[in-house]
Amino acid sequence: MNKTITFLAKDLGKKIRLDKYLADNLNDFTRSQIKKIILSKNIKLNKKLINSASEKVKNDDLIEVSFPDKTNKDLKPKKINLDIVYEDNDLIIINKKSGLVVHPGAGNQDETLVNGLMYLYKNNLSNINGDFRPGIVHRIDKDTSGLIVVAKNNQTHNSLSEQFSNHSIKRKYLALVWGVVRPLTGKITTLISRSKKNRQLMTVSERLGKKAITNYKTLKTFSSKEIPRMSLIECILETGRTHQIRVHLAYKGNPLIGDKKYGKKKQKFKKINLKFEKILSSFDRQALHAKSLGFFHPVKKKFLDFDSKLPSDFKKILDFLDKFGN
């Protein structure tokens, strides 16, 4: 059985190759897998079959990708403890814990948010994103905690997707970073593309990539002889690129604490509070939490705004740092 994923090209600075566009948007596939799909004539560009990887894609082009897919029969429901913040007949708001992958992919087929959703809701979820991503409108990284919205039907899914596309969704994150971000309040606007050196990473690019905008505000700085300088930052997204906040803050020279991909590889401190060093060493993920989420409800026809508490591991660091805050 084949499944089809559809893309409407947006936010392209200029025309780009089809294989590059798909590599940037099909995160679960390698570049070689994408080339095989193209050569096997499983790609349509504006309803026309394409078998050339060098075909150019421009804004508003419709790309349809068909490939063999596992069905829901292969998707194993799994009882997973999900923190459901809100639920009605059309959607679910979940406060995702860190360490939980959103949907099945290479190396993780059974222990994901989707497996937990299938256990609770079976087939009562939207299917626009295919059988392996029921209900999934957007994602947050495995090691990022916080709010995510899930659609129960295709009408709701389409409306929420449109709100994400036109940037009307309100998303606020809390991030703990190394150093002090200068200026203390500002807007980061860059292009973000997949790294040429490592396809698993994203990077700021001067000419290629998608426009990414992050508004930030420093809520508190922490500094003393006992701890390295750190800052608690509030980030509001205008766009939602892969790893956007992590890439942007690293670009500013203030990577997230605990970020293994974009952060400082090895931290060495001349002097550090031993208790705090122990807390840091036990914090095994990036210090990023999707704290609030707001959108226009497709059926209730009103704006809903949700907020979430910080998870205990993040709160433990902040509770200790508060005595050094400014």
Q: In 3-state terms, what secondary structure has residue 189?
A: strand
Residue 292 neighbours by CB distance under 10 Å: 18
Catalytic annotation, pick one of 61, 141, 259, 313: 141
Is 141 a catalytic site residue?
yes
Residue by residue, DSSP assigns 8-42 as E--SBSS-EEHHHHHHHH-TTS-HHHHHHHHHTT-
Task: With beta carbons less than 8 A apart as the criterion, state whether 290 and 318 touch.
Answer: no
Strands 145-151 and 288-296, sheet pairing: parallel
C-alpha distance across the termini of the chain, in Å:
59
Q: Which of 297, 325, 195 is nearest to 250 (CA)?
A: 195
CA-derived radius of gyration, the chain: 21
Task: Tell me the residue type at 238.
Answer: E
- CA dist list (Å): 64 to 3, 27, 192, 214: 10, 16, 23, 30
Total residue length of the chain: 326
- CA dist list (Å): 196 to 10, 26, 141, 155, 184: 21, 16, 21, 38, 31
Task: With beta carbons less than 8 A apart as the criterion, state whether 311 and 175 touch.
Answer: no
Name the residues annotated as catalytic: 141
